[in-house]
Structure 1
Amino acid sequence: MFVVETNKKYQPIDNFGASDAWSMQYIGLWPNEKQKQMADWLFGTETDAQGNPLGIGLSLWRFNIGAGSTEQEKASGIDNHWRRAECFLMPNGTYNWNKQKGQRNFMHLAQQRGVNQFLGFILSAPVYWTQNGLATNTGRGGTFNIKEDKYHDFARFMANVIEGIEKHDSIKFGYICPFNEPDGHWNWTGSGQEGTAATKYEVAKTIRLLGKELEARKIDTKILAPESFDYNCMYRTHQYTKANRGYQIQSYFSPDSTESYIGNVPNVPRLMAAHSYWTNTPLTDLRTIRKEMGDVLKKQEIRYWQTELCIMGNDEEIGGGGGKDLTMKTALYVARVIHHDLVYANASAWQWWLAVTNGDYKDGLIYAEPDATNINGTFTDSKLMWALGNYSRFIRPGAIRLGVDAFNANNDSVPEGDTDPYGLMVSAFQNSDGTPVVVVINYQDKAKGFDLVWNGTRVLSWKPYLTSDLPNNNLALQPTIYYGQKMNIPARSIITYVGNR
């Protein structure tokens, strides 16, 4: 039996989201009906005549603010043109607001479907200002790839983009991330994508300048950092990185860390971002690392967003990242990570990496097959997308996570019984309108039955929405369960129960 304790209130939920990197530069130029179908899947909150959701209702959209590798073409050193990005800034210092057209087109589709949270994230400073003239860190060490006299220009660039997008697109970036995985031990060398290394002191210097610039212009966009590549860097020193990239929670928000303190910088909330990579296996790490990081965040009174994840080589349980997988194998694996991020790290947001991908890799919610023109093609959804929807479609911004207690057949309390990583994982939420929501993951190869009790005001009935490997089970509405009836969840599936009081 699972008992939702409505008096045990944990973190607020701000959003669930995904990013437009890098495919939207082309997908946003595809025929309108194809763009709209993808947007309906990602952002839609409508239902069909039978009550089945038509989309997963993402509530935040991440927009990649490019550094100019597209304009450099092959000279960029980035082999795949789908992974390059345009830059609004021109070599002569002017801005071209016709750049990144496809991304902006798709951002409007998100807005039209009710998304009102937008985040601009940056992988590199504009190529005109980097030390090597590239948007990658190739040929350099573990420091910020920017000329020493261009820090202020970089801050002004970010402010200009915020103002320019609002002026030309009527969309406000509520958040901006100046760095993305600056602490990665590979230092962003190579031909894969835009990116730069940076020490926490260089990150802090940039954020201080950006905060002053935004304050001077009366821009209220929040600055979010550091988008760490690994939770270990957040609360201790990662075994493969130097100390100048570690203990980020303490360094950025403890006043005695004078070289890296940003807690008094304008527009910087007590909110940090990091990525769920590399910490999902073994299962002891999946729990322990999140719990340890969550404890440090709580001590420092800082909230936390998980802002990027896809499958990587160490995720061996599902065969690593190579080779796309449209089935529940990947969907359940990621759902288990979402559960642990929400329950043990107390994440207030959870965001996937690529909303649409064109590669043979487990990194997309939607998989596109472009034709030779790149501005048309075919596409398909994935069970991963619908599994994310078991959270994003029903747990809305402003919800609060609630505690869940577990009891065995003898009515004995089971410590952490809400989280069996090879069985049932149960999390509970209450939306701002009072609607109860419970998400149950069944990782096992057999169906499970259980009782669900909502302490407090009686829940008269539950509407279950099922995602499983059956073709039509994509948040498929199941028969209503009434007060006192037992819950049943099929093998290898996810159900979201939405209560009626």
Structure 2
Amino acid sequence: MATRTGSWFRSVAVASGFLIGAAGTMALPGEAAGAAVAQVSPAAAQTIQNIGASGAWWVNDLARFAPATRQRVADLLFGPNGIQLSAYRFNIGGGGTGVAAGDRAPQTFLVSPGRYDWNRDPGGTAFLRYAAQYGVPDIVGFVNSAPAVWTSNGKACGGDLKSGSTQAYAGYLADIVTHFRAEGVKINYVSPMNEPRVSFSDCHQEGMHVAPGQRDDIVRAVGQTLASRAPGTRVIADESDHVDKFLSEVPQWAGQPGTAQYVAALAHHTYDFPPDSTLAKIPALARQYGKPTWATELCCWNNPTNPAYGAQYDPTITGGLGMASMMYRDFAVSGDSAFHWWTALSKVMGCNPAGNASCATTINGTGYNDGLIYYDPNFASNGNQNLYLTKRFYALGQYSKFVRPGSVRHAVTGAPSGVQITATFLGGTWTLVVNNLNKSAQSVSVQLPSGGLTATGAYRTSAGENLAAIGLPSVAGSTASLSLPAQSITTYVFRG
């Protein structure tokens, strides 16, 4: 399934299996039924700010790829013929001191406090610049660890931010933002901590523990410094790894005097794969602080019927629908205003695509569901620079290409079991992204608040389709009649 050349609309094999349902549980196959009627509320729910993925840590490998391959990746991620991500997470590396050798030990620009080598991290800066060149609306600079000079153990893993280093650390981040701004690359947001309750003391990657009592100090220092030196660049925090920890720990730091004013968004990860009952507590936290919430990392479930973090490589529509369902829940249940998949590219396929023709298209239990696009883990020795696109890539594109920044979500009720509908409105255009998790076709009529609708586009990803243009649905007044093939994701666009 090499895709560096040829059409990006390329099919992959499908595997059978149950799918993640609306409550994060198993959705059983159903029988085709008569058309249900779903209602789109006239009331606005939340504004979607962006949809994206991160540049960790594949950019360090891609620095060794041919320029044409790097350009192809940029086209796929950021371009109009790709999935047009509206956010890109740029990893501000801490230098990798003490981290096991490999791509999870990214370079740092810092030579010594106040001195920089801007030629470092060529892979990271290349894709940062690509994102800017393609006009990606939001670039987030996120940190796993401060450079070792400011950590308690002198490493970029397993330590804390050293006492008395907060202001120097804030100045360092502002230096990076202002440097790239001077060359025309705007980093819109800075995330100064990542999964801060975890120390990453095994040093398999960069990571820095930040206790809740220190988080408000960091947020204020970084926020104040950016406001002074790089107006318009804001802080997001705290990127807790589990939603339950996010809910309990955000009030411990965001409620401290003078802190919340510097927070643009409250960010969380969902590696605990929480049920709807937990996700449904997030909107109250957002209201408490008057901030949008963002889901900024997710990947790597090992079982779609009972998801938990672990090994599995699934490039099929089963994996694509699993992602799409999680996106729906983050928007509709959590009320999040952004969704960021963990990493755009990965080499953790669990198999050898150069020596096994079915490797890229077949589920295995050794690789990881961490990438949208994969590349050969043995590229350095065998020279294979082909790209392998998964159904997750296309599933994310069903949202990212059409639910653009500023789109306002409206709640939908009355959809049949196993059908999830995300409805958004922007500039006179209604967009419906519809996940049919069932193993049978479904029919649903959707009544929108606007009359005089005209269907202008329809695009589908299924076992045999990849963001493929399909026939337009029939429309009568304010009601659209949708026919949904089994296990499919379809995006419909209407002028109102």
Answer yes or no: same fold by TM over 0.5. yes
**Using the alignment, how far apart are the partners of 1:497 and 1:478 within structure 2?**
10
2:184 corresponds to 1:170: yes
Please tell me the root mean square deviation across aligned C-alpha atoms, in Å: 2.1
**Counterpart Cα distance in 2 of 1:163 and 1:449:** 52
1:63 Cα deviation after fit: 0.3
**Equivalent position to 2:474, from 476, 482, 491:** 482
**What is the rounded CA distance, in whole Å, between the counterparts of 2:113 and 2:226 in structure 1?**
23
Q: What amino acid maps onto 2:469 in structure 1?
A: L
Give the C-alpha shift of residue 404 in structure 1.
Answer: 1.4
For residue 219 of structure 2, the aligned residue among 202, 207, 211 is 207
Q: Identify the residue that residue 273 of structure 2 maps to in structure 1.
A: 279
**Aligned AA for 2:287?**
K
Letter matched to residue 300 of structure 2: I
Q: Is the 8 A contact 2:196 2:240 kept in 1?
A: yes
Q: Is the 8 A contact 1:315 1:321 kept in 2?
A: no
Give the TM-score, by structure 1 length: 0.83
Measured in 1, the distance between the counterparts of 2:164 and 2:187 equals 27
Which one of 86, 99, 121 corresponds to residue 107 of structure 2?
Answer: 86
**For residues 198 and 478 of structure 1, do their structure 2 counterparts lie closer, same or farther at Cα, with a shift above 3 Å needed?**
same
One-letter identity of the residue aligned with 1:263: A
- Give the Cα–Cα distance (whole angstroms) in 2 for the partners of residues 100 and 444 of structure 1: 45
Q: Distance in 1 between matches of 2:408 and 2:291?
A: 16
2:375 maps to 1:368? yes
CA distance in 2, matches of 1:90, 1:163: 17
- Pairing of 1:4-403 with structure 2 (within 5 A): 4-5=39-40, 7-45=42-80, 54-69=81-96, 72=97, 76-79=98-101, 81-91=102-112, 93-137=114-158, 145-167=160-182, 169-184=183-198, 187-236=199-248, 246=249, 248=250, 250-254=251-255, 257=256, 262-264=259-261, 267-269=262-264, 271-280=265-274, 285=275, 287-312=276-301, 317=306, 321-359=310-348, 360-369=367-376, 370-372=378-380, 377-403=385-411
Q: Which moved more, 1:299-308 or 1:486-495?
A: 299-308
Task: Quote the Cα distance in structure 2 between the aligned partners of 1:58 and 1:146.
Answer: 32
Amino acid at match of 2:260: G
The structure with higher relative contact order (CA 8 Å, sep 6+) is 2
Give the drift of 1:104: 1.3
Per-residue deviation at 1:300?
3.6
**Distance in 2 separating the partners of 1:2 and 1:32:** 50
Classify the secondary structure of the residue corresponding to 1:16.
Answer: strand
Give the partner amino acid of 1:377: Q
> Do 1:462 and 1:481's aligned partners in 2 also have CA atoms closer than 8 Å?
no
Amino acid at match of 1:60: A
Q: Is the 8 A contact 2:91 2:142 kept in 1?
A: yes
* 1:37, distance to aligned residue in structure 2 (A): 1.8
From the superposition, tell whether residues 320 and 135 of structure 1 become closer, same or farther in structure 2 (CA, over 3 Å).
closer
Partner Cα distance (2:63, 2:447) in 1: 45
SS at match of 1:148: coil
**CA distance in 1: counterparts of 2:267 and 2:341, whole angstroms:** 13
1:105-142 deviation digits (Å, cap 9, x = unpaired): 122222232313111000001012212111110xx6xx
How far did residue 91 of structure 1 move? Answer: 3.6
Q: CA deviation at 1:82?
A: 1.5
- Percent identical residues: 29
For structure 1, the residue ranges without an aligned partner over 5 or more in a row are 46-53, 237-245, 407-416
Structure 2 portions without partners, runs of 5+: 1-35, 349-366
Going from structure 1 to structure 2, the CA distance change for 1:401 and 1:2 (only over 3 Å counts) comes to farther
